[in-house]
Amino acid sequence: MSIQVGEKVPNVELKVMGEQGPESVQTDELLSGKKVVLFAVPGAFTPGCSVTHLPGFVVHADAIKAKGVDSIICTSVNDAFVMDAWGKNQNAEEIIMLADGIGNLAEAVGLEKDLTGVQFGVRSQRYAMILNDGVVEYLGVDEQGVEKSSAETILAQL
């Protein structure tokens, strides 16, 4: 069972790229007291995530923030070096590229995706959340495409 609207994202340790290399960060630090859009993808640099999903948030980042969002976070079950390189490749300066290297967040919110069949291992489902002080206000999970988790959908929900 995945996390539901009205529930709080559990506190887990993740990584972001810092000046000296990957740094630990807690979800509580990222989410507490803030309005946050968090979206998750099955894999950095994969076509669906690189051609459609992340670019939409890059294009609409200012419009999303203009609606009172403090930060936009992109997460994937990839390491911090990969997430950092992907963010730079996509000019995603306004987006926090959050590495869920061992799937702590995907597991904590019940949104893992078993991609062992294509040798990706256990990853994250594609989803987007609007979070207020860590509490889910909107959750859209996509099996196919980005209809429920796109930047455009999030803008319409804000």
Give the total of residues touching ligand BEZ (CB under 6 A): 9
Does residue number 48 form part of the binding site for ligand BEZ (CB under 6 A)?
yes
Return the range that interacts with ligand BEZ (CB under 6 A); candidates 1-9, 38-46, 95-103, 138-146. Answer: 38-46
By the rule CB under 6 A, 150 interacts with ligand BEZ: no
**Which of 15, 25, 36, 43 is the binder for ligand BEZ (CB under 6 A)?**
43
- 140 membership: H or E segment, kind and range: strand 135-142
Q: Is 39 helix (H, G, I), strand (E, B) or coil?
A: strand
Per-residue burial over 79-103, b = 16 or more CB atoms within 10 Å of its CB, e = otherwise? bbebbbbbbeebebeebbbbbbbbb
In whole angstroms, give the CA distance from residue 20 to residue 65: 28
Give catalytic residues, as residue numbers: 49
Contact positions vs ligand BEZ (CB under 6 A): 42-43, 46-49, 115, 118, 120
